[in-house]
Amino acid sequence: MEPGGQFANPHSIASAQWLETHLGDPSIVVVDTRFTVKIDDRGDFRSVPGRGGYEESHIQGAVFLDLLDLRDPDEPRHILDPSAFAEAMSGAGIGNDHEVVVYDTEGGTWAARLWWALRYHGHEAVRVLNGGFANWQRLGLPTRSGNQERPSSRFIPDVLGDLRVDIDDVLVAIDEPGVAIVDALPEPFYTGQVPLYPHLRAGHIPSAWNVSALANIDPSTWMLLPRDELAAMWEPVIGDADRIVTYCGGGVYAAFDLFVLHLLGHDAALYDGSWEEWGASEHTPVETGPDPTRSEES
């Protein structure tokens, strides 16, 4: 059975069974992007790359990629420029002729950042592993410990500008009836009950819907919800929108919402700077409170 089942773009998702049959295929690169965020003693979020967990156990043949390495060193809220991104992919052993499978330990909610980044740079042959490493372990499929490296390859970017928007684009989109803006953060951050970071304003972009990335997955299995459930959840958001823009805190959860929309047949654009940029500006409008459209439905 095709890994994507009834999805409109099944080539963007991989089942554990599909990947198991392709382990050892030289044309496929498996990338572990596990990542967590912890709260320190001051109540601030602290990013924790998952290399330690990767070295303890990972999918056989997978290489590790630190998502922090995808941030532009001159503007950490944005993705690497095409030249630097190409260098990073080449160093990880990813070339234009490879099919890439990305996974993490949280259902793909972090791995989707690399999925989007590859597509944004013109690499369509990339899948997110459904259920990630949790499902892989549950099924007892091959793992190994230590570190895996691949020989360098040649990655040539071909940027697809429609998959990314900047702060000025979003400022215009707020007042455009044909654009649906989606906040992918958990509800307390969207409503403004909890600030994402102490130095940022709390709330959301005006007119934004709230569809948390975590709402797309079964929390007991880390697997995507069935297609029909996802379609029903997203239908009010998609509606008659001509364009969809997703954002979150730093472009990670938003990439997962974008991934799900792509599976359903709706390409969207990522506001890469997300709340780290919007919430830090003194010149951007902010709203607080629940999603009024969802309140009307209940």
Q: Residue 245: which CATH number?
A: 3.40.250.10
Assign 285 a pLDDT band (cuts: 50, 70, 90).
very high
Separation in Å, CA 101 to CA 87, 128, 182, 250: 19, 6, 26, 22
Instruction: Please identify, among 123, 140, 159, the residue that sits at the C-terminal boundary of a domain.
Output: 159
Report pLDDT for 36.
81
State the pTM of this model. 0.94
Do 71 and 171 lie in a common domain?
A: no
Q: Which domain holds residue 52?
A: 10-159
With respect to residue 242, please indicate whether it lies within any of the assigned structural domains: yes
With respect to residue 2, please indicate whether it lies within any of the assigned structural domains: no
Do 16 and 129 lie in a common domain?
A: yes
Query: Which backbone phi and psi does 281 adopt, to 5 degrees?
Result: -85, 145
Do 206 and 284 lie in a common domain?
A: yes
Instruction: Please identify, among 124, 144, 159, the residue that sits at the C-terminal boundary of a domain.
Output: 159
First to last CA, the chain: 37
Q: How far is it, in rounded angstroms, from Cα 202 to Cα 188?
A: 10
Assign 1 a pLDDT band (cuts: 50, 70, 90).
very low
Question: Does residue 138 have a pLDDT over 70?
Answer: yes
Report pLDDT for 75.
93
Instruction: Please identify, among 118, 138, 159, the residue that sits at the C-terminal boundary of a domain.
Output: 159
Assign 2 a pLDDT band (cuts: 50, 70, 90).
very low
Do 25 and 123 lie in a common domain?
A: yes
Q: Is 52 buried (19+), middle (13-18) or exposed (0-12) by CB count in 10 A? A: exposed
With respect to residue 54, please indicate whether it lies within any of the assigned structural domains: yes
What's the token pair of residue 53? 């967990």
